[in-house]
Amino acid sequence: MILFDYPRQSYFGRTLPKAKIYAHTAASTRLKELFVRQIDQIVWKFKLAPETINIPATEIVSEIQIFAVTLKTGELHPDVLRSIDIAIPFPIVYEVSYEGKVKVMACYKRPHESGGEKWISGAWLISDWMPENAGRQALPVKLDLAALYDELLGTLIPYPPRQGESLQQRIRRAEAISRQQKELTKMEAALEKEKQFNRKVEINAGIRNTKQQIDRLKALTEE
């Protein structure tokens, strides 16, 4: 995973009051309690836009926001960031920090086909925890903000792209790998507990099949 050194001219640096998020999302009591228990501070840290980084916007991506979220504990419920995504009608990349560590989180976000202010958000992409003082790299040079957004999210996917594979296709492939890996873990645990020989043979066959599916999904060429 890469931490990026966002250009100084894109610095925004405004604290985002929790009350504003509540107002824009009709937050439930449960959601407000999550914010109070888990979130120390939210800072709207950088705004990547044509006027700040001199990269043209596209119809889908007019700006990219970088939010710094400081946690009270190491716990963060997905509904917390999802509510921020609902309140802010732009793609967002989150840098979540806790006790000297940071991880990056984002979900692929795009305008709804029907137009208006409605947005569609995909599954979460999450990096491992890293030291907050880890080295940062300069933003990659891209032709427009949509390409830059794809690059930022692409760094959160642990599998390299196939030739001609779109970001959405790559995300779906990563999600499929994750599902298969969870299923593999369940089967391996079941194998450890199983006593009957016939059932062990059956589970082993399932494990082999699942491993093959994972290998096919990870391969750089589609079979």
Report pTM.
Answer: 0.86
pLDDT digits (tens, 9 = 90+) for 187-223: 999 999 999 999 999 999 999 999 999 999 999 887 6
* Ordered alpha helix ranges (H), the chain: 18-25, 29-38, 50-53, 78-87, 145-154, 167-193, 197-218
Task: Answer positive or negative: Cα dihedral of 25, 82, 75, 12.
Answer: negative
- pLDDT number for residue 146: 93
Q: Please state the rounded mean pLDDT for residues 70-97.
A: 91
At 46 the three-state DSSP class reads strand
Backbone dihedral angles phi then psi of residue 172, each to the nearest 5 degrees: -60, -40
The pLDDT tens digits for 171-192 are: 899 999 999 999 999 999 999 9
Contact between 72 and 103 (Cβ < 8 Å): no
pLDDT: which is higher, 119 or 99: 99
